[in-house]
């Protein structure tokens, strides 16, 4: 790989950062909270949000909270839509979970990739790794929430709200250690 073909952060401030071993721009000096290192030790360059929030963990949690809110809004919208189209259908919760999952993970991928982990290249690899992390949540969601609604008679929005906390933990661990992981190149 030549110097010209190395990936550069287009949002890097000229003169304020030294390239790391992979040719990516980093923030100048050690940042509080270990922001120069990805969460869980993964090597990924900092996204533009880290200019405002110097701790990657906090940036990850803020984007995660935003994604959780967006995902929950998608769930509510699909729940209302599906339940109005097929009132009382026992299978409607499965359709709602699936539609909400598809739409919310697409927006989450874009937000994490652009704001927290400023990575380039490997778009489809990152996307499928990202989806693998959410596949765990998706499957657990199908195993936990429908029995809460079908067998216990709980409102589907309330059941999903309760399960959202489990999804948040799975997301945090999975994305920080797998989805946007980049191997550190030898210096």
Q: What is the 3-state secondary structure (H, E, C) of 74-87?
A: HHHHHHHHHHHHCC
Rg, the chain, Cα only: 19
Residue 29 lies in a domain: no
What pLDDT, on a 0 to 100 scale, did the predictor assign at position 186?
Answer: 63
What pLDDT, on a 0 to 100 scale, did the predictor assign at position 26?
Answer: 38
Q: How far is CA 22 from the centre of its chain?
A: 23
Containing structural domain, residue 70: 51-179
User: CA–CA distance from 185 to each of 12, 99, 175, 179 (Å)?
Assistant: 20, 39, 20, 18
What pLDDT, on a 0 to 100 scale, did the predictor assign at position 183?
Answer: 64
Residue 75 lies in a domain: yes
Residue 42 lies in a domain: no
Residue 4 lies in a domain: no
What pLDDT, on a 0 to 100 scale, did the predictor assign at position 166?
Answer: 82
What pLDDT, on a 0 to 100 scale, did the predictor assign at position 30?
Answer: 39
Residue 18 lies in a domain: no
User: CA–CA distance from 107 to each of 32, 45, 73, 101 (Å)?
Assistant: 28, 20, 12, 10
What pLDDT, on a 0 to 100 scale, did the predictor assign at position 169?
Answer: 79
What pLDDT, on a 0 to 100 scale, did the predictor assign at position 45?
Answer: 63
Q: What is the mean pLDDT of each run of 10 residues along the chain (187 residues)?
A: 40 36 38 39 62 80 88 95 94 95 92 78 85 86 94 94 84 71 62
Residue 15 lies in a domain: no
Which three-class secondary structure state does DSSP give residue 5?
A: helix
Rounded to whole angstroms, how far apart are CA atoms 119 and 24? Answer: 9
Q: What angle do CA 136, 158, 98 make, to 5 degrees?
A: 40
What pLDDT, on a 0 to 100 scale, did the predictor assign at position 91?
Answer: 94
Rounded to whole angstroms, how far apart are CA atoms 111 and 62? Answer: 11
Residue 155 lies in a domain: yes
Which three-class secondary structure state does DSSP give residue 19?
A: strand
Number of domains in the chain: 1
Instruction: Please give the structure tokens belonging to residue 80.
Output: 């209302």
Residue 25 lies in a domain: no
What pLDDT, on a 0 to 100 scale, did the predictor assign at position 39?
Answer: 40
Neighbours of 43 (CB within 10 A): 16
Which three-class secondary structure state does DSSP give residue 36?
A: coil
Instruction: Please give the structure tokens belonging to residue 182.
Output: 């980049």
Instruction: Please give the structure tokens belonging to residue 137.
Output: 């949540």
What pLDDT, on a 0 to 100 scale, did the predictor assign at position 8?
Answer: 42
Cut 0.85: pTM above it: no
What pLDDT, on a 0 to 100 scale, did the predictor assign at position 1?
Answer: 41
Nearest CA-CA partner of 144 in 84, 83, 95, 97: 97
């Amino acid at each position: 790989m030549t110097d010209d073909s190395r990936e550069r952060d287009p949002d890097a401030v000229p003169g304020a950062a030294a390239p790391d071993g992979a040719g990516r721009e980093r923030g100048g000096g050690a940042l509080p909270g270990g922001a120069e290192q990805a969460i869980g030790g993964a090597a990924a360059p900092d996204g533009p949000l880290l200019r405002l929030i110097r701790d990657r963990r906090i940036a990850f949690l803020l984007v995660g909270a935003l994604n959780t809110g967006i995902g929950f809004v998608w769930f509510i919208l699909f729940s209302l839509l599906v339940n109005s189209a097929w009132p009382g259908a026992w299978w409607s919760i499965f359709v709602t979970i699936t539609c909400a999952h598809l739409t919310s993970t697409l927006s989450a991928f874009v937000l994490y990739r652009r704001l927290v982990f400023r990575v380039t290249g490997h778009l489809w690899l990152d996307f499928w790794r990202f989806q693998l992390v959410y596949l765990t949540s998706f499957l657990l969601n199908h195993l936990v929430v429908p029995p809460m609604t079908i067998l216990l008679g709980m409102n589907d929005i309330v059941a999903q709200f309760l399960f959202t906390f489990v999804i948040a933990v799975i997301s945090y661990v999975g994305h920080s250690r797998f989805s946007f992981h980049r191997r550190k190149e030898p210096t």
